[in-house]
Amino acid sequence: MCGIVGYTGPRDAGPVLLDGLRRLEYRGYDSAGIALVTEDGDLFVEKRAGKVAVLTDALGGGPPTAGVGLGHTRWATHGRPSDLNAHPHSDCSGRITVVHNGIVENFRELRDELVAGGHTLRSETDTEVVAHLVEDAYEGDLAAAVRAALGRLQGAYALVVMHRDEPDRLVGARLNAPLIVGVGDGESFLASDAAAIVAYTKRVIFLADGDVADIRPGSAVVTDRSGAVLDRPIDEIQWSAEAAEKGGYAHFMLKEIHEQPAALTAAMTGRLRGDAVCLEELDPIAKRLAGIDRVEMIACGTAYYASLVGAALFQEWLGVPARSTVASEFRYSPPPIDARTLVIAVTQSGETADTIAAARLAGDRGAIVVALTNTVGSAITRESHASVFLQAGPEVAVAATKTFVTQVATVVMLAADVARRLGRLPAEKDRELVEALRRLPSQAARTIEKAASIEEVAGRYASAAGYMYIGRSFGYPAALEGALKIKEISYLHAEGYAAGELKHGPISLLDPEVPLVAVATRSAVYEKLISNLMEGKARDARVLAVATEGDTQIERLATDVFWVPDTLEPLSTILAVIPLQLFAYYVAVKRGRDVDQPRNLAKSVTVE
């Protein structure tokens, strides 16, 4: 939520920052701005409501030449999207500029205090107080002033601060919001994530909460808030700048849907050994796993739907109570948690504030916490005893696709491995699962090959008033995810419902304008699902079914069918969701929506 980028070095900073902002735009696109200290030593600021393209237009012939600067793309929290509320924000003297991701929770009190002290604050944002606090604390050393100001802040922040009179220096700080340092050859960067800077350097320092980074062209010093120098390792980013480009596709979402076979292969790499699933990331906690007597999964949005598959399998294979809870609710009614509870936090970004808070609560109560994330170095990895990475590569479109299918594949592997370690997964079942997992990438590819016919069907359904998605058992998470995709990118109402619940209320929504989308793949609950499908058909709803190749019955019942290959039931969620992703994509395109950057959303949700 909000993307920030800073640069100091021999390149012209303006284009580096604008390029970084374009790559960070998925984090928020309510406004964008940059600040530079120009060659003449002046502070240049340009900021606009709207997307980075609006800022670029406003810059006309481009920003002035500069060796240092910072930039921001915003997802509004405090203060509506406007030029005035756009970041960067400055102090009274106009020498200090700040960009911020997060929320300063005590900003009203700080604002009153600053105004009483003679400061003039111009915007409605929480961020502006930071510039003025740094101004008060400044005695010629920007890092010292930032550290002093941080002591006054409550809430969450990733900050980058620049002072006109120290024109080769930027100071960054983080607490509960992501910030990394890019270590280049004679140049340094600060950024919300690696996508912004990977074209320039792959060497990064993942800052931890409480860290303050003081960067200059040839150095990056990390301290704590008291100024004590910390030894933070430099990590190497494993993917290239091209991985975060559209590569000829009309949208990132379409590209990422097509990347799913490769992403599934990557997610399984090193984890299928002979006839067994083995996640070596669990080795260090193997002894503790032996004693678990319940499993709690926590996640938000798409990740929550993926976690439902995991909870069902942990319960079935381990024979212990297992459930999944939306992370934002978990804290209000926490279950009994102790050292025998395995808590699994599923989060693509690793930065979702609600998931992190829930994982922290679980850790504080003694649980074994395992993170399942796509982001090496992310905050969730610090709350966890073990981290299992999706290995899906960067996902840029706001609507998750390849990270959903890899989350499902990885929670399945996780449940299988824990069950095997505890001696509760028969070798035969493990072997069968491994074989099915190995088939998945090519089956996913076969499903994606049908994109043209899905596009054609989407054309006939794109003017619907709304959609009702239903599924049972492992089809239920696919229905939820399919409905969420429609909502997010086409701004149409779609309900994802447990098929058996249809008759308890939402069936009244069905009519010829509201199609029923039924996940009806081969399963133990197939017949019951068909009954629900018939209930919809009897209400004149058009029925769009996702069904298993070779199902001759469904063709007679449904108006249209998306065919998927057969697989094991727990893996059917993965194949069933693919046509629903494509369907949502083409409906949104036909309705002229901004597929990659849908309104009101941001990819990484770092506020609670």
Looking at 241-249, 346-354, 384-392, 557-565, which segment touches ligand F6R (CB under 6 A)?
346-354
- The answer to whether the CB of 199 falls within 8 A of the CB of 159 is no
Rounded to whole angstroms, the Cα distance separating 467 from 479 reads 11
Is residue 69 classed as helix, strand or coil in its secondary structure?
strand
Task: Report DSSP letters for 229-260, one per residue.
Answer: B---PPEE--S-GGGGS-TT-SSHHHHHHHTH
- The answer to whether the CB of 152 falls within 8 A of the CB of 158 is no
Looking at 147-155, 297-305, 420-428, 503-511, which segment touches ligand F6R (CB under 6 A)?
297-305
* By the rule CB under 6 A, 347 interacts with ligand F6R: yes
Q: Would you say 474 or 585 has its CB closer to ligand F6R?
A: 585
Q: Would you say 352 or 597 has its CB closer to ligand F6R?
A: 352
Q: How far is the CB of 605 from ligand F6R (least distance, A)?
A: 5
* By the rule CB under 6 A, 348 interacts with ligand F6R: yes
Residue 204: which of 181, 172, 230, 170 has the closest Cα? 181
Furthest C-alpha separation in the chain: 79
* By the rule CB under 6 A, 605 interacts with ligand F6R: yes
Give, as ranges, the residues between 108 and 167 that touch ligand F6R (CB under 6 A). none
Instruction: Name 462's Cβ contacts closer than 8 Å, sequence gap at least 6.
Output: 490, 586, 587, 590, 591
Q: Would you say 217 or 301 has its CB closer to ligand F6R?
A: 301
Q: Contacts for 530-538 with beta carbons within 8 Å, 24 or more apart?
A: 530/554, 530/557, 532/470, 532/472, 532/499, 532/500, 532/502, 532/503, 533/470, 533/499, 533/557, 533/558, 535/502, 535/503, 535/507, 536/468, 536/470, 536/502, 536/507, 536/510
Q: Would you say 161 or 345 has its CB closer to ligand F6R?
A: 345
Give the dihedral sign, CA 75/76/80/84: negative
* By the rule CB under 6 A, 324 interacts with ligand F6R: no
Cβ-closest position to ligand F6R: 301
Across the strands, what pairs with 187?
none
Q: How far is the CB of 537 from ligand F6R (least distance, A)?
A: 30
* By the rule CB under 6 A, 573 interacts with ligand F6R: no
Rounded to whole angstroms, the Cα distance separating 541 from 509 reads 10
Considering only 127, 176, 325, 352, the residue that binds ligand F6R (CB under 6 A) is 352
Phi and psi torsions of 447, nearest 5°: -70, -40
Looking at 93-101, 213-221, 348-356, 542-550, which segment touches ligand F6R (CB under 6 A)?
348-356
Catalytic site residue 487?
no
Residue 463: which of 600, 572, 581, 587 has the closest Cα? 587
Looking at 177-185, 242-250, 276-284, 343-351, which segment touches ligand F6R (CB under 6 A)?
343-351
Considering only 68, 130, 300, 415, the residue that binds ligand F6R (CB under 6 A) is 300
Rounded to whole angstroms, the Cα distance separating 63 from 164 reads 16
Q: How far is the CB of 603 from ligand F6R (least distance, A)?
A: 6
Residue 591: which of 472, 497, 517, 494 has the closest Cα? 494
How many amino acids of this chain bind ligand F6R (CB under 6 A)? 15
* By the rule CB under 6 A, 488 interacts with ligand F6R: yes
Is residue 573 classed as helix, strand or coil in its secondary structure?
helix
Looking at 148-156, 204-212, 347-355, 497-505, which segment touches ligand F6R (CB under 6 A)?
347-355
Considering only 192, 307, 355, 532, the residue that binds ligand F6R (CB under 6 A) is 355
Looking at 59-67, 96-104, 243-251, 294-302, which segment touches ligand F6R (CB under 6 A)?
294-302
* By the rule CB under 6 A, 567 interacts with ligand F6R: no
* By the rule CB under 6 A, 303 interacts with ligand F6R: yes
Q: Catalytic one among 47, 51, 487, 603?
A: 603
Residue 410: which of 272, 318, 502, 505 has the closest Cα? 272
Q: Would you say 85 or 328 has its CB closer to ligand F6R?
A: 328
Residue 53: which of 605, 604, 603, 596 has the closest Cα? 596
Residue 271: which of 433, 393, 478 has the closest Cα? 433
Rounded to whole angstroms, the Cα distance separating 354 from 331 reads 9
Catalytic site residue 603?
yes
* By the rule CB under 6 A, 192 interacts with ligand F6R: no
Letters for 245-284 (x = contact with ligand F6R by CB under 6 A, - = none) are: ----------------------------------------
Rounded to whole angstroms, the Cα distance separating 470 from 477 reads 9
Considering only 349, 387, 490, 606, the residue that binds ligand F6R (CB under 6 A) is 349
Q: How far is the CB of 380 from ligand F6R (least distance, A)?
A: 8
Q: How far is the CB of 400 from ligand F6R (least distance, A)?
A: 4
Looking at 26-34, 142-150, 298-306, 500-508, which segment touches ligand F6R (CB under 6 A)?
298-306
Q: Catalytic one among 2, 47, 202, 300?
A: 2
Q: Would you say 75 or 157 has its CB closer to ligand F6R?
A: 75
Q: Would you say 46 or 596 has its CB closer to ligand F6R?
A: 596
Phi and psi torsions of 126, nearest 5°: -75, -30
Phi and psi torsions of 442, nearest 5°: -70, -30
* By the rule CB under 6 A, 361 interacts with ligand F6R: no
Considering only 2, 298, 400, 564, the residue that binds ligand F6R (CB under 6 A) is 400
Task: Report DSSP letters for 482-507, one per residue.
Answer: HHHHHHHHH--EEEEEEGGGGGGTGG
Residue 410: which of 384, 383, 391, 382 has the closest Cα? 391
Active site members: 2, 603
Binding site for ligand F6R (CB under 6 A): 300-303, 347-349, 352, 355, 399-400, 484, 488, 604-605
